[in-house]
């Protein structure tokens, strides 16, 4: 097999960029001269990836929000497909999450003889079971990050491999809170709340102001609290403006990225539903999950919901181990009270840490090795 390989990848947002960056790190150990290109972000670029478009272009959630960007997104996909079927035809295409963008692209590439891999099984067990047939048409192989997914896909004739969750190998089993606090200029005795309003502009639009209003209530209830807010660079100015408007002053610091440092340092996190909630679970942190989106988008999504939980920690544990507040229920009052409830319940936190430690062991595998082996099988066809 030739040493030089050409991999095309599409990762559609911050979490996808992180997963793809970790994957590329392992793949490059197998193929050191790998050429990789497509749509991605800084984590992928650090592995030598050539981004034709930045991943933020696809960081849109919700049916109504997607419609607003539909023309641009479809245009990008059309141009990308033309390039991948032209002079830059890859040995394999790997779609990293972003199923609404990637599955159609994968189906078209597969029909033209390009091997396709989808990394992160779309959550057909939680939402949109009708998507299974599209996955079968689109992907030669699916890399699954949760252990129950390959069996589910096999029932529909879809080849899949459980590779574990890459973050479970990156995040330490016992995070060093003292070191993280030193990095952020926090004291060991501080009580710290990490606020994570999301990495998409639409999430910040609907959640950041509510989160900061909740933080202001928490500050009034516990004047000594400290707040840290990791922000993706593209949204930092907007988040800083909203934080300033909430009047939190020096009690709050906005960080450039550093979400893992913030989660390591905090006592509890107020967090938008999404991949970050799984990261918080792997850091063994109690959390309050919230989500709010365009009303019409929510009505459509709610009808497709198959489980009573939305947050990944609850889905994976099969129980409401952490509270969820969705849509109008995500009020500043409710969120602040839920954060205080964690701070006042050390025994409850200890039990949660044990639950999350068990989850961490389940998800920790040699993801890079397993994923690379599966990709190699696809290449050998």
CATH for 339:
3.40.50.2000
Among 378, 372, 377, 260, CA closest to 24: 372
Identify the three-state secondary structure at position 290: strand
Statement: residue 313 has pLDDT above 50: yes
Query: 275 and 230 share a domain?
Result: yes
Band of the pLDDT at 65, cuts 50, 70, 90? Answer: very low
pLDDT number for residue 192: 98
Residue 1 pLDDT: 44
Same domain for 191 and 113? no
Q: How many domains does the chain have?
A: 2
Q: Is the pLDDT of residue 153 over 80?
A: yes
DSSP string, 4-50: --EEEEEE-SHHHHHHHHHHHHHHHHH-TT-EEEEEE-HHHHTTT-E
DSSP label of 58: G
Same-domain check for residues 104 and 221: no
Distance of CA 83 to the CA centre of its chain: 28
pLDDT digits (tens, 9 = 90+) for 255-268: 988 999 999 999 99
Answer yes or no: is 350 within a domain. Answer: yes
Q: How far apart are alpha carbons 96 and 102 in whole angstroms?
A: 8
Residue 369 has pLDDT above 60, yes or no: yes
Q: What is the pLDDT of residues 97-138, one digit of tens each?
A: 889 899 999 999 999 999 999 999 987 655 556 688 899 999
**Is residue 113 domain-shared with residue 238, that is, in the same domain?**
no
Residue 170 inside a domain? The answer is no
**Across 108-117, 142-151, 202-211, 303-312, least confident range:** 303-312
Evaluate if residue 333 carries a pLDDT over 80: yes
Identify the pLDDT of residue 224: 93
348 compared with 233, residue with greater pLDDT: 348
| 352/369 same-domain check | no
> What per-residue confidence (pLDDT) applies to 261?
97
Question: Is the same domain home to 217 and 90?
Answer: no
- Based on the domain organization, do 156 and 252 belong to the same domain? no
- Tell me, yes or no, whether 148 and 214 share the same domain: no
In a domain, 183, yes or no: yes
Query: Domain range holding 129?
Result: 6-164+365-380
Predicted TM-score (pTM) of the model is 0.76
Check pLDDT > 70 for residue 299.
Answer: no
CB 263 within 8 A of CB 285: yes
Share of the chain above pLDDT 70, in %: 90
- Note whether residue 160 is domain-resident: yes
Average pLDDT over residues 283-298: 78
Do 191 and 201 belong together in one domain?
A: yes
Give the closest residue to 52 by CA, choosing from 23, 21, 88: 88
Tell me the average pLDDT of the chain: 89
pLDDT in tens, 212-267: 999 999 999 999 999 999 988 888 888 888 888 888 888 999 998 899 999 999 99
222, 107: one domain: no
* 96 plus 187 within the same structural domain: no
From residue 4, alpha-carbon distances to 92, 235, 342 in Å are 12, 37, 52
Determine the pLDDT at residue 302. 58
Q: Would you place residue 295 in the very low, low, confident or very high pLDDT band (cuts 50, 70, 90)?
A: low
Higher pLDDT, 2 or 68: 68
pLDDT at 63: 44
Which range (38-47, 119-128, 195-204, 311-320) has the least confidence?
A: 119-128
Same domain for 140 and 256: no
Structural domain includes residue 21? yes
Residue 169 lies in a domain: no
Per the domain annotation, does 172 fall within a domain?
no
Minimum mean pLDDT range among 141-150, 306-315, 317-326: 306-315
In a domain, 129, yes or no: yes
């Amino acid at each position: 097999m030739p040493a030089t390989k050409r991999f095309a990848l599409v990762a559609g947002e911050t979490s996808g960029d992180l997963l793809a960056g970790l994957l590329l790190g392992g793949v490059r150990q197998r193929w050191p001269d790998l050429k990789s290109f497509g749509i991605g972000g800084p984590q992928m670029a650090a592995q030598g990836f050539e981004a034709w478009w930045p991943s933020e272009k696809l960081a849109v959630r919700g049916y109504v929000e997607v419609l607003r960007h539909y023309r641009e997104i479809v245009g990008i996909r059309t141009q990308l497909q033309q390039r991948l079927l032209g002079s830059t035809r890859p040995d394999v295409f790997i779609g990293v999450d972003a199923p609404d963008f990637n599955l159609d692209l994968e189906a078209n590439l597969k029909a033209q003889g390009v091997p396709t891999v989808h990394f992160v099984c779309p959550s057909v067990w939680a939402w949109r079971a009708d998507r299974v047939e599209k996955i079968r048409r689109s992907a030669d192989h699916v890399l699954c990050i949760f252990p129950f997914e390959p069996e589910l896909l096999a029932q529909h004739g879809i080849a899949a491999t459980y590779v574990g969750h890459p973050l479970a190998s990156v995040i330490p089993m016992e995070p060093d809170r003292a070191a993280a606090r030193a990095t952020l200029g926090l004291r060991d005795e501080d009580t710290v709340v990490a606020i994570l309003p999301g990495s998409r502009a639409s999430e910040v639009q609907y959640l950041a102001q509510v989160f900061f209003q909740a933080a202001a209530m928490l500050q009034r209830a516990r004047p000594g609290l400290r707040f840290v807010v990791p922000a993706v660079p593209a949204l930092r100015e907007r988040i800083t403006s909203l934080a300033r408007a909430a009047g939190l002053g020096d009690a709050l610091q906005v960080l450039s990225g550093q979400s893992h440092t913030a989660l390591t340092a905090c006592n509890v996190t107020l967090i938008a539903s999404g991949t970050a909630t799984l990261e918080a679970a792997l850091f063994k942190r109690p959390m309050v999950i919230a989500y709010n989106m365009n009303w019409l988008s929510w009505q459509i999504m709610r009808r497709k919901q198959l489980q009573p939980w939305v947050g990944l920690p609850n889905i994976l544990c099969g129980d409401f181990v952490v509270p969820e507040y969705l849509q109008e229920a995500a009020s500043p009052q409710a969120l602040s009270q839920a954060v205080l409830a964690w701070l006042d319940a050390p025994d409850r936190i200890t039990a949660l840490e044990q639950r999350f430690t068990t989850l961490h062991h389940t998800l920790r595998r040699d993801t890079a090795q397993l994923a690379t082996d599966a990709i190699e099988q696809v290449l050998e066809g």
